[in-house]
Amino acid sequence: MAVELTPEERAVAGGRAGEAAGIAMRLVAETARLMGARGLIPIASAHIDGALYHGPSGTLFAERLVAGGGRVSVRSTLNVGALDLTGCSRVRLEGEEREMAARLMAAYRRLGCEPSWTCAPYQAGHRPETGTDVAWGESNAVVFCNSVLGARTNRYGDLLDIACAISGRAPDYGLHRTENRQARLVFDLSDAPESFLADSAAWPVLGSLYGRLAGDTVGVVTGVRDNPGEDNLKAFGAAAASSGAVGLFHMTAVTPEAPDLANALGGQAPDETITVTAAMVRDAQARLSTAAGANRIDAVAIGSPHLSIDEFAALERLIGGRRLAVPLHACTGRHAIAVLDRTGRRKALEALGVVVIADTCVVVTPILPALANGVLMTSSGKFAHYAPGNTGYGVLFGSLADCVESAVAGKPVFSERPGWK
């Protein structure tokens, strides 16, 4: 299908606004052709995932855009990079890799992107209005943006994200279109006890189950009596986007496009209804631990997506001034660091053995010690999914309270939590 560009878009693609703008417009237009879109749509903002170093090509591409006069035309925040530029923690990248990673992060700043360096830009004030079209990368940010904020974005990958930001355009397909945002699957939690749903540890588990069953199908979660709150919605969406390819979920009476089931489904009958059972939840939770039965832990890591200020407050309450026997890595963004530093809270946590990490996280760059058969404990469904492959560590999944008690004891500790009999 031919893509219909406006005269202005054709002129930019032809180089009228400079080399980088031409590259960006042509890349977006070609993506639109490949995806079967008729044309492009203007976007209000972008969140850029391409500043994380994966190899020289990403750095060289970004630097070519800089050399070609590239500049973002909409607000563009940056996802995590490979280095902690704040100096809070030490990244073990050395030599050419470290140099290229630093050059990549610098290039994106020269393109006009905000140095937010967080996978949770919605916690740092980047919250597009419901119904607006944006171009966001980073899977958890995409699903939160679509689902909780009600803005519209597809899952934009490296290079295409910055092309959208420079051109101010995105291909008109997928989740930008209303008809593709209607739920086709019902994920029914009506049988879940209220005490279970009130436990924050339930939401990464439920998200992991949802993603595995839904894939890339848009679904609607029903049976939730109270709004879980943004941190739990964040955890659910991040796990769902990791175990599946979820870009949008609805939750009746909670998310903006699902005031009720009929609206979420667009007035149509669902293709499938999944009634969640206790056995399904137990299986989903078991899948999050690859080191089940381990009698030791080597590290604890939390903050994927990045910890909010409320989650730091919960962490402080659970530690209660005790020294940790095992390092607890707490990944967050600069926006949270600024709040913690105003009252000395970061230094107090670090004095107890917490390793605060900004700009990046332990799963995307080498921060954890290189260990054979290392065991990592986490409360994050996303960390649990990616850590074995990315770090080589086996994983134990537990609640935030479990993570803290285990870090204090230096071995796995699991407390009784509200169950689902």
Which structural domains are found in the chain, ordered by start?
7-179 (3.30.499.10), 182-287 (no CATH), 299-409 (3.30.499.10)
The pLDDT tens digits of the residues spanning 52-84 come to 999 999 999 999 999 999 999 999 999 999 999
pLDDT tier, 1 (very low <50, low <70, confident <90, very high otherwise): low
Measured distance CA(191)–CA(57) in Å, rounded: 50
Residues making up the chain, counted from first to last: 421
**pLDDT given at position 420:** 77
CA dist 294 to 18, 289, 373, Å? 58, 10, 10
**DSSP H/E element including 377:** strand 375-378
pLDDT tier, 262 (very low <50, low <70, confident <90, very high otherwise): very high
Please report, rounded to a whole number, the percentage of residues in the chain having pLDDT higher than 90: 97
Give the helix, strand, coil percentages of the chain, each rounded to 5: 40, 15, 45
Question: Three-class SS of residue 35?
Answer: coil
**pLDDT given at position 89:** 87
**pLDDT given at position 123:** 98
Mean pLDDT across the chain: 97
Q: What number is the average pLDDT over the span 273-295? A: 96
The pLDDT tens digits of the residues spanning 218-260 come to 999 999 999 999 999 999 999 999 999 999 999 999 999 999 9
Question: Side chain identity at 146, as an amino acid letter?
Answer: N
Measured distance CA(421)–CA(92) in Å, rounded: 45
* Closest to 75 (Cα-Cα) out of 131, 130, 124: 124
pLDDT tier, 377 (very low <50, low <70, confident <90, very high otherwise): very high
Residue 322 φ then ψ, to 5°: -85, 150
Backbone dihedral region of 207: left (phi > 0), alpha (psi from -120 to 50 degrees) or beta? alpha
Q: Where are the beta strands (DSSP E) in 232-362?
A: 249-251, 272-275, 299-302, 328-332, 354-358
Q: What number is the average pLDDT over the span 186-195? A: 97
- Contacts of residues 320-323 at CB distance under 8 Å and 24 or more positions apart, as own/partner, are 321/352, 322/352, 322/408, 323/352, 323/353, 323/408
Measured distance CA(340)–CA(231) in Å, rounded: 18
pLDDT tier, 274 (very low <50, low <70, confident <90, very high otherwise): very high
Please report, rounded to a whole number, the percentage of residues in the chain having pLDDT higher than 70: 100
Q: Which residues pair with 222 in a beta bridge?
A: 188
The pLDDT tens digits of the residues spanning 34-55 come to 999 999 999 999 999 999 999 9
Q: Which residues pair with 77 in a beta bridge?
A: 47, 114
The pLDDT tens digits of the residues spanning 97-145 come to 999 999 999 999 999 999 999 999 999 999 999 999 999 999 999 999 9
For residue 159, the 8-state DSSP code is: T
**DSSP H/E element including 262:** helix 261-264
Q: Angle at which helices 230-243 and 202-214 pack, to 10 degrees? A: 40
With 90 as the cut, is the pLDDT of residue 2 above it? no
